[in-house]
Structure 1
Amino acid sequence: MSTTENTAPAAVAGEKDLSSTTGAAPLNGSEATQRYGPYGGNPMARLHQGDEPRLPAFGGEFQPGLYRPLEHRKFANPAPLGLCAFALTTFVLSAINLDARGISTPNIVVPLALGYGGLVQLLAGMWEMAVGNTFGATALSSYGGFWIAYGILLTPNFKVPEAYAAESDPLAFDSAVGFFLTGWFIFTTILLLCTLRSTVMFFSLFFTLDLAFLFLACGKYAADNGAEGSADGLNKAGGVFGMLAAFLAWYNAFAGIADSSNSFFLVPVFHFPWSEKGREIRIAKTESHTA
Structure 2
Amino acid sequence: MSEERKLCNPGAIGLGGFAMTTFVLQIHNLGWVELGPVLWIGVFYGGLAQLIAGYHEFKLGNNFGFSAFTSYGAFWMALCAFLIFGHNPDWVAANPTLKFSANGLGWFLVAWTIYTAIMFIASMKHHTVMALLFLTLLLGFIGLDFKELAGSQAIGTLAAWDLIVCAGIAWYLMAHIICADVGIHLPVGKPWT
Structure 2 length as normaliser, TM-score? 0.86
Residue 196 (structure 1) aligned to one of 124, 133, 146? 124
Partner amino acid for 1:242? L
**What is the RMSD computed on CA atoms of the aligned residues?**
2.2
Find out whether 1:151 has 2:80 as its counterpart.
Answer: yes
* Pairwise CA distance, 1:261: 2.9
Which runs of no fewer than 5 residues in structure 1 stay unpaired? 1-71, 165-170, 224-230, 275-291
Find out whether 1:248 has 2:169 as its counterpart.
Answer: yes
Instruction: Give distance in 2, aligned partners of 1:129 and 1:272.
Output: 23
Question: Structure 1's 145 and 129: CA in aligned 2 closer, same or farther, altered over 3 A?
Answer: same
* Pairwise CA distance, 1:234: 1.5
Which runs of no fewer than 5 residues in structure 2 stay unpaired? 94-99
Residue 185 (structure 2) aligned to one of 236, 242, 266? 266
More helix by share: 2
> Contact 2:47–2:76 (CA<8 Å) still a contact in 1?
yes
Structure 1 length as normaliser, TM-score? 0.58
Q: Give the structure, 1 or 2, with the largest relative contact order (CA under 8 Å, sep 6 or more).
A: 2
Residue 11 (structure 2) aligned to one of 79, 85, 105? 79
Structure 1 stretches (4+) deviating beyond 6 angstroms? Answer: none
**Cross-structure match for 2:160:** 239
Question: Structure 1's 78 and 94: CA in aligned 2 closer, same or farther, altered over 3 A?
Answer: same
Instruction: Give distance in 2, aligned partners of 1:180 and 1:161.
Output: 18
* Pairwise CA distance, 1:73: 7.3
* Pairwise CA distance, 1:250: 0.6
1:111-122 pair list within 5 angstroms: 111-122=40-51
Rg (Cα) greater in structure: 1
Find out whether 1:207 has 2:126 as its counterpart.
Answer: no
Instruction: Give distance in 1, aligned partners of 2:44 and 2:23.
Output: 15
Give the number of aligned pairs: 182
1:217-268 residue CA offsets vs partner (Å, 9 max, x unmatched): 1101122xxxxxxx21111111011101101001111111113736xx4321
